[in-house]
Structure 1
Amino acid sequence: MHKVRWGILSTAKIAREKVIPAMQRGKYCYIAAIASRNIGQATETAARLNIPTVYGSYEELLNDPNIDAVYIPLPNHMHVEWAQKAIQAGKHVLCEKPVALSSTEARQLLKVAQEHPQVKVMEAFMYRFHPQWVRAKKLVDEGRIGQLKTIHSFFSYFNADPNNIRNQKDMGGGGMMDIGCYCVSLARFIFNSEPLKVYGHVTIDPVLLTDTMASGMLEFLNGTATFTCSTQLMPYQRVQVLGTEGRVEIEIPFNAPPDAVTRLWLHSKSGSEEITFEPVDQYTLQGDLFAQAVINDTPVPTPLQDAINNMKVIETVLAGGQH
């Protein structure tokens, strides 16, 4: 197998505009089919993106023996259902984050995955594969900022449209599920451990009933991570990683542009260094790394247990934290 043959479950915007074009540029990915319950949308998307096969139902795509893996960009509340069906159909699964609506759901998915050990399953936190995050983690792990003590991250945008899926509670909407999950994920990624205690403060929209602003503090064995995310603030994102002898600042930490140079800064007692990265698409990197795990029958870069652990922290923040 030289390329993994992918099927796409739904014509979601993130798939149409970002993930499919990025994976089509990959070395190990071939987008072979797309499915939608609206056959017209699937046909239109397939024609525009040069996808050869179209299905009018997700089941038909999962029954296609020429499909090796599926990418699932469905609404959050549909992730576990269709990931399980894909696994049971023998398809490898790359599922958008968050992989489930709860840690209980995520554990159910892990159980199904464990019953089909030949199938690879991964939550699509693409930011981890961007060179800026690979470098940031390397700087921390090599002690370039001394002892890691605290991380602060901020991620916000403004979207109060009640018809937008991000603002629909029953579909897994809300700031924590959409963007706060990144703040939790990166803290666990950089500390390379799980928090011992989690505290949260959440603002709920009285009409939408979703969280429009959430702040959290994660207490690790050797430090803390704090964050704020919001769906109703001025758009902004930034991450600061601070240690006893230095600081790493990441300018565009989460949706790094695929067509522009990105940068981070290493600040230390000896001065400041700007580190730049040539344009690269983190969705292409994610697709190829997952595909290589399929081709070589090696573990996926991020195990499904990581998704469960992330979900546990998200739940705790939304519940107001616990001691």
Structure 2
Amino acid sequence: MAPIRVGLIGLGPKGTGEFAYSLWSAVSHLPSIQALPQYELVAVANSTVESAKRSIASHALPSTVKAYGSPEDIANDPNVDLVVISVYVGKHLRLAKPAILAKKDIIVEWPLGASLAETEELAELAKGSGAKVGVAAQGHASKISLKLKELVAILHSFIDVLGNFSKVQAVMKTQFPDIPIVSSTGQVVNPSYTKTSPDDIFVQGILENGALASINFFKSETPVTPSRELVWRITGTEGEIEFSSPEHVWQFGHPQAEINVRIGKDGEPTKVELDPQGAVIDSLPQLAQNIALVYEAFAEGDTDKFPTFEKAAETHRLLQRILDVSGFEA
């Protein structure tokens, strides 16, 4: 089968650091596309043709990779089967529309839209396009997420790991309003920027299956257990599952993240061995591995491992509900 020909919007040049948000497509999407035999990069689009050419040269891409300066041009290229958008969320709607109208398959970074209205607009447009659409929420495809789903099914606890809320309450507050702004090179460009987003988030409620759930998201400067910044416990009638990770960022994955399971009230916790990802995935940098799993799932049409636009809209509706009931105002 011929490879899926990819047009990538938002490829930055090579960076000097391990990771920078402005270079996300370069450290995750590009390595995934290059490593997987199901795909072939054929075009790059940035804000200008010159910018796209610089990125192509920076990554030593083949001379056959075309450079474009607009989303319309890359969407209208008959040799592009799939358009991938990896840029700041405020540009997703404008950049995705031409691809959807051209009936191209499309993958967009999460969040799909900058607002619920934008997300629903893109989901509605995609319905009539007949194209395959997906959101690069890479946590869905991770070996941790898949193992949690499997264990939850075995222990008869939650459905699809968590499920939606039937009733929800929330509190959000900005405890630290001033933060430093750091450039991609690590230089502090603004030592005291006033942020408008909350840094403490409490969510609790009743899930559609009747289970109770509570979430507390915050970043502690002095955690009690420094080696475990993220802890998630799922408690059911048959036992308890605990996922923990040294990093609070769920979607990237971490080689030291682990799952422990206790069966029964008196059982001893047991570490769960995770399923292998395959030689190709394991050969990629850590930041690219879950993205590569999304690409594999997209090629196979396995929507259990990546959200469609409509599924992304459902999640955005839930997030809007949580924001509304919290009463938080930026």
The within-5 A match list for 1:52-131 is 52-117=65-130, 119-131=131-143
**Residues paired across the two proteins, number:** 274
- Alignment match, 2:25: 15
SS of the residue aligned with 2:107? Answer: strand
Contact 2:138 2:306 (8 Å CA) reproduced:
no
In 1, are the aligned partners of 2:140 and 2:305 still within 8 Å (CA)? Answer: no
Compute the displacement of 1:38 (Å).
Answer: 4.3
Percent sequence identity is: 19
Which whole-Å CA distance do the structure 2 matches of 1:238 and 1:44 have between them? Answer: 42
Counterpart AA for 1:74: V
Greater share of residues in helix: 1
Specify the alignment match of 1:138 in structure 2: 150
The amino acid across from 2:4 in the alignment is: V
The one-letter code matched in structure 2 to 1:197 is: K
Is the alpha carbon distance of 1:251 and 1:2 closer, same or farther for their aligned partners in structure 2, counting shifts above 3 Å? farther
The one-letter code matched in structure 2 to 1:274 is K
Structure 2 match to 1:273: 270
In structure 2, relative to structure 1, the CA distance for the partners of 1:216 and 1:116 (3 Å cut) is same
Give, in angstroms, the shift of residue 98 of structure 1.
Answer: 1.0
Structure 2 gap segments, 5+ residues each: 12-21, 179-193, 224-228, 283-288
Q: CA deviation at 1:36?
A: 0.8
Q: Contact 2:171 / 2:203 at 8 angstroms: preserved in 1? A: yes
Larger radius of gyration: 2
The partner residue of 2:46 within 6, 25, 36 is 36
- Mapped to 1, the partners of 2:171 and 2:78 lie a distance apart of 48
Deviates more, 1:227-236 or 1:207-216: 227-236
User: Which residue of structure 2 lines up, in the alignment, with residue 5 of structure 1?
Assistant: 5
Q: Secondary structure at the match of 1:227?
A: strand
Do residues 197 (structure 1) and 185 (structure 2) align? no
Alpha-carbon deviations, 1:250-306, whole Å to 9, x = none? 23343114xx46532112233222123346411111012112339xxx998533221
The letter of the residue matching 1:36 is N
Partner SS state of residue 211, structure 1 = coil
For residues 55 and 190 of structure 1, the distance between their equivalents in structure 2, rounded to whole angstroms, comes to 41
Q: Does residue 240 in structure 1 map to residue 233 in structure 2?
A: yes
Change (3 A) 1:197 1:93: same
- Paired amino acid for 2:10: S
Shift of 1:87: 0.6
Deviates more, 1:41-50 or 1:225-234: 225-234
Q: TM-score, normalised by structure 1?
A: 0.75
Unaligned runs of at least 5 residues, structure 1: 149-187
Partner AA of 2:152 in structure 1:
V
Name the CA distance, whole Å, in 2 between partners of 1:268 and 1:299: 26
